[in-house]
């Protein structure tokens, strides 16, 4: 006969980490999203060996109060929602209070953080256990360093692909997040080589130039449309500048980069016969809506979001693209591949 027992916390955190922290890029995503929620204007990301050796994210955001730093590593501890009402009106990227405890349960983590008014704090956690804690003089903001990722979960480590694949996952997620927040300057380094730098001056076209290059940015047209529920803005390439995959379609919903096949299709459909089969534009489509129309709480990593009135939204995206294309000459796609 077996007996029922409640699992110890370090185990429940590792189980949650299985969902939230799949690979190095998941750590990067969660840390950068926290930096954005903390209202940072500068975020620096240093990666070593595709994140397996080291991931460090530094921001100039509001910081964590010294007596709350260890609480931030408790499961379901968050400063972002307090009530059920808040859950239906999510305006931050995080809210589940799962990322930090999950990361800390599968890696060695160092936090250095300070708020505007109080002395800063440094905390070191190894595999979920606090090993050092001290007052730390630092400027306002937070730096989180994650080392030896998956050192205590050999199965997860085995599942990691080549360093090249992991690094390209990281650059992909950072590119999308940078495009989602043109008002934040983002810098990414891998083994000390600069991979990305955005200006943070709020201009989407300049951010696109930082991510995809100035040639592509120059070939983009502005899109704009709205109805009572949704406001759409953004940039899409002219039909002569295309790519062979959908990977360059970025959809941003209330500041969150999301994956949504229907909305991606709406972009492509907006181009109609101007695209050759198998060719896709480069696009950044930003959608603002009332958070009440969204259910963000369907997937632990929140890449998928349920949208009420999705049909209406796809129609509006198509319209936005069609009207931007109206005065453009008809050039068959695929002629130029910048
Ligand atoms: P969530 O983002 O869902 O709230 P996390 O586990 O990612 O959960 O973070 C827990 C809490 O730690 C956050 O709610 C926030 O208060 C604090 N925090 C984490 N990272 C930062 C940061 N870079 N700057 C300021 N506060 C942070
Ligand atoms: Mg978070």
User: Residue 104's pLDDT band (boundaries 50, 70, 90)?
Assistant: very high
Angle at 40 between CA 132 and CA 69, to 5 degrees: 25
Same domain, 172 and 33: yes
CATH of the domain at 232: 3.30.230.10
Overall number of domains in the chain: 2
User: Residue 157's pLDDT band (boundaries 50, 70, 90)?
Assistant: confident
Can you say whether the dihedral through the CA atoms of 21, 23, 24, 26 is positive or negative?
negative
Mean pLDDT of 37-43: 98
User: Residue 138's pLDDT band (boundaries 50, 70, 90)?
Assistant: confident
**Predicted local confidence at residue 57, as pLDDT:** 98
Same domain, 185 and 229: no
- CA 34 to centroid of ligand 1, rounded, Å: 5
pTM metric for this prediction: 0.94
CATH of the domain at 138: 3.30.565.10
Same domain, 220 and 190: no
- C-alpha to C-alpha distance for 32 and 288, rounded to whole angstroms: 21
Residue to probe by mutation, ligand 1, list 30, 35, 37, most atoms within 8 Å of CB = 37
Between 71 and 155, the more confident residue is 71
**Quick one: which ligand is closest to 71's CA?**
1
Residue 258, exposed/middle/buried by CB under 10 A (0-12, 13-18, 19+)?
buried
Same domain, 192 and 213: no
- CB atoms closer than 10 angstroms to residue 189: 16
Under DSSP, the state recorded for 247 is G
Domain-located, residue 4:
no
Domain-located, residue 57:
yes
Give the closest residue (by CA) to ligand 1 atom 16: 79
Residue to probe by mutation, ligand 1, list 77, 94, 95, most atoms within 8 Å of CB = 94
Mean pLDDT of 64-70: 96
pLDDT, one tens digit per residue, over 161-187 is 899 999 999 999 999 999 999 999 999
CB of 64 sitting under 6 A from ligand 1: yes
Give the torsion through C-alpha atoms of 285, 246, 260, 38, to 10 deg.
-60
Whole-angstrom CA distances from 336 to 176, 267, 331 are 24, 19, 10
Same domain, 217 and 268: yes
Domain-located, residue 331:
no
User: Residue 336's pLDDT band (boundaries 50, 70, 90)?
Assistant: low
Same domain, 87 and 143: yes
Of 328, 34, 17, 60, the residue nearest 157 (C-alpha): 17
Domain-located, residue 335:
no
Same domain, 114 and 70: yes
Which H or E element spans position 114?
strand 108-114
- CA 7 to centroid of ligand 1, rounded, Å: 24
Q: Is the ipTM of this complex over 0.85?
A: yes
Same domain, 179 and 272: no
Structural domain including 185 reads 9-197
User: Residue 303's pLDDT band (boundaries 50, 70, 90)?
Assistant: confident
DSSP assignment of 169-214: HHHHHHHHHHHH-TTSEEEEEETTEEEEE---SS-HHHHHHHHH-H
- C-alpha to C-alpha distance for 79 and 160, rounded to whole angstroms: 32
- C-alpha to C-alpha distance for 228 and 28, rounded to whole angstroms: 35
Residues ≥6 apart with Cβ < 8 Å to 6: none
**Predicted local confidence at residue 205, as pLDDT:** 97
CB of 97 sitting under 6 A from ligand 1: yes
Give the closest residue (by CA) to ligand 1 atom 1: 97
146, 175, 197 - which closes a domain: 197
Domain-located, residue 51:
yes
**Predicted local confidence at residue 174, as pLDDT:** 98
149, 172, 197 - which closes a domain: 197
Of 24, 79, 82, the residue nearest 56 (C-alpha): 24
168, 197, 226 - which closes a domain: 197
Residue to probe by mutation, ligand 1, list 32, 34, 44, most atoms within 8 Å of CB = 34
Under DSSP, the state recorded for 122 is E
Alpha helices by DSSP H, listed for 201-297, are: 204-212, 214-218, 261-271
CB of 141 sitting under 6 A from ligand 1: no
Same domain, 219 and 317: yes
Domain-located, residue 225:
yes
Mean pLDDT of 240-247: 95
Ligand 1: nearest atom to the Cα of 77 = 10
**Predicted local confidence at residue 330, as pLDDT:** 64
């Amino acid at each position: 006969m077996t007996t029922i027992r409640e699992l110890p916390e370090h185990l429940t955190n590792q189980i949650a980490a299985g969902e939230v922290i799949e690979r190095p890029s998941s750590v990067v995503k969660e840390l950068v999203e926290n930096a954005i929620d903390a209202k940072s204007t500068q975020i620096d990301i240093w990666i070593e060996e595709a994140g397996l050796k080291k991931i460090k994210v530094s921001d100039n955001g509001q910081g964590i109060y010294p007596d709350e730093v260890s609480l931030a590593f408790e499961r379901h501890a968050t400063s972002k929602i307090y009530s059920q009402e808040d859950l239906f009106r999510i305006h931050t990227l995080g809210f589940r209070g799962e990322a930090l405890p999950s990361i800390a349960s599968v890696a060695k983590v160092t936090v250095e953080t300070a708020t505007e008014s109080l002395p800063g704090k440094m905390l070191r956690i190894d595999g979920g256990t606090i090993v050092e804690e001290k007052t730390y003089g630092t400027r306002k903001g937070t730096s989180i360093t994650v080392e030896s990722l998956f050192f205590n979960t050999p199965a997860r480590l085995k599942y990691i692909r080549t360093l090249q694949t992991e690094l390209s996952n990281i650059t992909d997620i950072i590119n999308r997040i940078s495009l989602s927040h043109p008002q934040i300057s983002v810098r990414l380094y891998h083994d000390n080589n600069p991979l990305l730098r955005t200006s943070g001056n709020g201009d989407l076209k300049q951010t696109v130039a930082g991510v995809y290059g100035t040639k592509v940015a120059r070939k983009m047209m502005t899109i704009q449309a709205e109805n009572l529920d949704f406001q759409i803005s953004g940039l899409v390439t002219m039909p002569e500048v295309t790519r062979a995959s959908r990977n360059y379609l970025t959809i941003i919903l209330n500041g969150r980069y999301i994956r949504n096949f229907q909305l991606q299709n709406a972009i492509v459909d907006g181009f109609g016969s101007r695209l050759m089969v198998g060719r896709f534009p480069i696009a950044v489509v930003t959608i603002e809506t009332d958070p009440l129309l969204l259910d963000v709480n369907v997937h632990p990593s929140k890449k998928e979001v349920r949208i009420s009135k999705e049909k209406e939204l796809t129609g509006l995206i198509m319209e936005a693209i069609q009207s931007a294309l109206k005065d453009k000459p008809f050039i068959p796609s695929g002629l130029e591949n910048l």
